[in-house]
Amino acid sequence: MNNKDLQTIVAWAKRRGFVYPGSSIYGGLANAWDLWPYGTILRKNIIDLWWKEFIQKRPDIIPLDAAILMNPKVWEASGHVENFNDPMIDDKNTWERFRVDKLIEAKIEELRQQLTDEQILEKINKEFWVTNLIPESWSFDQMKAFIEKYIPNNPNTWKPANWTDVRKFNLMFKTHQGVIEDESTVVYLRPETAQWIFVNFKNILDTMRVKLPFGIAQIWKAFRNEITPGNFLYRVREFEQMEIEYFVEPEKDEEYFEKWKKWSWNWWTKTIWIKEENLRFRDHEPDELSHYSKWTTDIEYYFPWWWWELQGIARRTDYDLRQHMKHSGQDLQYSDPKTWKRFIPWVIEPSWGLTRAIFTTMLDAYDEEQYTDPKWRTQTRVVARFHKNVAPIKFAILPLLEKNEDMVNLAQNIFKELSQDYMVELDIKGNIWKRYRRQDEIWTPYCITIDYQTLEDWTVTIRDRDTMQQQRIKIEEIKKFM
């Protein structure tokens, strides 16, 4: 299972150029992170693998790329202005604000050190009448009662807290469009990519000649003013999603929901190769469901702290299209081309967190192992066991001696050739073993070394990252290794 230490992963991600704190020369901006070169390539690889699986290989799914800012009426109709809230609580002594369900989850996690889940539930069921260990689904009164009893101190100061009641906090970022800042110019940064798809459903029907079942896919930014961001890239205020709204006949809702569970699971386990034992499905409790969903199943990952959500798969029914019909006055029904029956399609929504996928891929891959170096000393090497599909760099080209012009020229020519098809790195300087170590840390599948023999017979050594074994091959055979 997953007992990796988060601080180690964050330090490695910084050291090896994957992720770095944002605005760092100004002391950073809380919970804002930037992707650095390898993180940027990793993100692109994940997107490409998702795109290939769900857009390129699927005649029934089309892509689009919509504007972030939309008419604010969209968010009134979708229910986000009214319902997109998290429960918050303030400590009146310090006026610090906390997300209540996360405070409670942390406490439950602490109780798990001494009690089983059944014992915890039995105890708090007697005290607060709760029937599960998912605080998101509890009533505000139950949350407050739990906090009063089990979390008397402010978790930051450790001094007794003076808690307010539990209240709702809307997560949408508000801003203003144009030069006047009043209520009439309010716009929201979208909290999910999905709504544009519903708003443009009729345009898509009219222009794209689509037939049920079909999906519309979108990748990119979403924003949420999270009360308690944290855990590195897990919960941030600016993040990316890869979402599909898949439209079906109402009676096929369950059938396609099951299919999307399977397709999603396969993508995580067989396309980007997250370890299956670190993944599970979890159905939402009825009180935990988002306002638009009739049923949601999450794919969860076993993070160093607990099982938490990676992807949601929701049965959104006809909720969104019906709401937009009501608020816009437009007809968003679909006409069956055979029967001419008109109806509002239902929607299955698999929604992947791209930012969480980047984090999880790094977390799942990170490892440390013992090996014996050429001088028979035992060493620890950091290895990020990315699958070849996902690894940021596919080949590293290492001329043995920086000062040997022939070796460096040849390395540059091999770079030119391989970089037509792959991300390749040319690493010229330094001790060859240190260069290998650097590539192991980012899990480059193959290191190609150009040495004296290369100049004589046009062979190179190719080193496999897993076995650290090297073999000599002809230059023209390199591509076969991929």
Residues 104-133 touching ligand GAP, rule: CB under 6 A, are none
88 binds ligand GAP (CB under 6 A): no
CB atoms within 10 A of CB 164: 14
Task: Enumerate residues 6+ apart whose C-beta is below 8 A from 45.
Answer: 389, 390, 391, 392
Residue 65 Cβ vs ligand GAP, minimum distance, rounded to whole Å: 16
CB atoms within 10 A of CB 270: 13
Question: Is residue 421 classed exposed, middle or buried when 0-12, 13-18 and 19+ CB atoms within 10 A define those classes?
Answer: exposed
Residue 351 Cβ vs ligand GAP, minimum distance, rounded to whole Å: 4
Residue 35 Cβ vs ligand GAP, minimum distance, rounded to whole Å: 13
351 binds ligand GAP (CB under 6 A): yes
User: Where do we find the tokens 């790195």?
Assistant: 425
Q: Which two tokens stand for residue 370?
A: 């013992």
Task: Enumerate residues 6+ apart whose C-beta is below 8 A from 422.
Answer: 394, 395, 482
Residue 468 Cβ vs ligand GAP, minimum distance, rounded to whole Å: 35
Which of 356/387 has CB closer to ligand GAP? 356
CB atoms within 10 A of CB 431: 8
311 binds ligand GAP (CB under 6 A): yes
235 binds ligand GAP (CB under 6 A): yes
Residue 224 Cβ vs ligand GAP, minimum distance, rounded to whole Å: 5
313 binds ligand GAP (CB under 6 A): no
| Contacting residue, 31, 142, 355, 461, with ligand GAP by CB under 6 A | 355
Q: Which two tokens stand for residue 59?
A: 């005649």
DSSP β-ladder status, 446-450 and 395-399: parallel
360 binds ligand GAP (CB under 6 A): no
Residue 30 Cβ vs ligand GAP, minimum distance, rounded to whole Å: 13
Which of 142/355 has CB closer to ligand GAP? 355
243 binds ligand GAP (CB under 6 A): yes
Residue 358 Cβ vs ligand GAP, minimum distance, rounded to whole Å: 10
Rounded CA separation 257/246 (Å): 10
Look at residue 182 and give its three-state secondary structure: coil
- 253 sits in which H/E element: helix 253-266
Residue 43 Cβ vs ligand GAP, minimum distance, rounded to whole Å: 13
Which of 236/447 has CB closer to ligand GAP? 236
Question: Is residue 460 classed exposed, middle or buried when 0-12, 13-18 and 19+ CB atoms within 10 A define those classes?
Answer: buried
Q: Provide the residue type at 420 as one letter.
A: Q
Residue of this chain nearest to ligand GAP (CB atom): 353
345 binds ligand GAP (CB under 6 A): no
Rounded CA separation 1/413 (Å): 44
151 binds ligand GAP (CB under 6 A): no
Residue 110 Cβ vs ligand GAP, minimum distance, rounded to whole Å: 23
| Contacting residue, 80, 99, 102, 224, with ligand GAP by CB under 6 A | 224
C-alpha closest to that of 163 among 89, 105, 99, 98? 89
363 binds ligand GAP (CB under 6 A): no
For ligand GAP (CB under 6 A), the number of binding residues is 18
Rounded CA separation 283/278 (Å): 17
Q: Which two tokens stand for residue 251?
A: 């009676």
Task: Enumerate residues 6+ apart whose C-beta is below 8 A from 274.
Answer: 268, 301, 360, 361, 364
Residue 298 Cβ vs ligand GAP, minimum distance, rounded to whole Å: 7
Contact between residue 460 and residue 471 where contact means Cβ atoms under 8 Å apart: no
Look at residue 190 and give its three-state secondary structure: coil
Which of 304/408 has CB closer to ligand GAP? 304
Q: Which positions from 189 to 218 touch ligand GAP by CB under 6 A, shown as an x/- string?
A: ---x-x------------------------
Rounded CA separation 13/442 (Å): 10
Which of 229/445 has CB closer to ligand GAP? 229
309 binds ligand GAP (CB under 6 A): yes
Which parts of this chain interact with ligand GAP (CB under 6 A)? 192, 194, 224, 226, 235-236, 239, 241, 243, 309-312, 349, 351, 353, 355-356
